[in-house]
Structure 1
Amino acid sequence: MSKEIQASLSELDKVVTYLNETLPNNAIVFLRGDLAAGKTTLTQAIAKAKGIEGEVTSPTFSLQQCYGAEDGTYLYHYDLYRLEHEEFMQLGLFEEFEKEGWHMVEWGSDTLKAFLEGVGYNVVTIDIEPKENSRIYRIEA
């Protein structure tokens, strides 16, 4: 699967709709882009579409946030900035990917992605690139 979508903030539902139509109920999604590219903003839009109420924030200092909707849908949000693969494994975060739901991973390393794919997970990567008043979302699976 390979798709490129250009969307402004008001058109972000185009990206979310595409993801909802193509991703399985359990997915690991690596979000890539520079600071302020829109990784957390996309996660917020996904959470809203999944019926998750309340504030969705970047887990910069906690490493992980878990959100649940009334229908039992779960969304996990990770911020692995400056966290090396070995530290990630030592913290036991790998086991979190066994939980049902979408796992949105900001700043995930290539090493972690290769490891997850090597043990049988399908990992989707979304590269986010700012462009004028919009963003380009390059989705690869």
Structure 2
Amino acid sequence: MKEFSTILENEEATVAMGNHIAQSLSQGMTIFLHGDLGAGKTTLSRGIIQGLGHNGRVKSPTYTLVEPYELENISAYHFDLYRLADPEELEFMGFRDYFNDKALCLIEWPEKGQAFLPKADLELYLTYADEQREIRFQALSEIGEQTVLKIESKY
């Protein structure tokens, strides 16, 4: 499947990349966000959600596990599983109800959810590159591949 990577110079570039991702989505999908603490996962998510038309604040779902955003053309759900004690907790909160072909699900720390998560369409890896960040896209489905191709064509 398709892979692409680029450097994000600063926070503004990370938010801008999120906007590019939002504009490249053709339907709902599941995106896993990987990276160390402070690597820019929440900042990128903010850019995506704002790029989809949200005008308010984008809160980190660190303590709530999920922040929903009902937008004009799509429902977006931003998950942060960092504080998840047991992946089975996802079943108790009705986690599967969030995933459908009309919803965008952004999941930080997906490794904490293990076998309870659906397969991702796209995985994003944010890593430190000196004072900057590198973002690597890895498509895992046809829609993920289409999204990566659209983003890559802008860079």
- Shorter-chain TM-score category? 0.7 to 0.9
Aligned residue in 2 for 1:68: 70
Output the aligned Cα RMSD. 2.2
Structure 1 residue 91 displacement after superposition:
2.2
Structure 1 residue 18 displacement after superposition:
4.8
Task: Give structure 2 stretches of 5+ with no counterpart.
Answer: 140-155
- Structure 1 residues 99-136: Cα deviation after superposition (integer angstroms, max 9, x where no partner): 623111011127237x523xxxx431111002223211
1:91 to 90, 93, 111: 93
**d(CA) in 1 for partners of 2:4, 2:17:** 12
**d(CA) in 2 for partners of 1:81, 1:5:** 25
Normalised by the size of structure 1, how large is the TM-score? Answer: 0.82
Partner secondary structure for residue 96 of structure 2: helix
Aligned residue in 2 for 1:7: 8
2:121 to 117, 120, 123: 123
Pairs aligned (count): 134
Task: Give structure 1 stretches of 5+ with no counterpart.
Answer: none
Asked whether the 8 Å contact 2:69–2:77 carries over to 1, the reply is yes
AA in 1 matched with 2:128: P
Aligned residue in 2 for 1:28: 30
Normalised by the size of structure 2, how large is the TM-score? Answer: 0.75
Partner secondary structure for residue 130 of structure 1: strand
- Structure 1 residues 52-86: Cα deviation after superposition (integer angstroms, max 9, x where no partner): 011001111111101133x3332210011142322
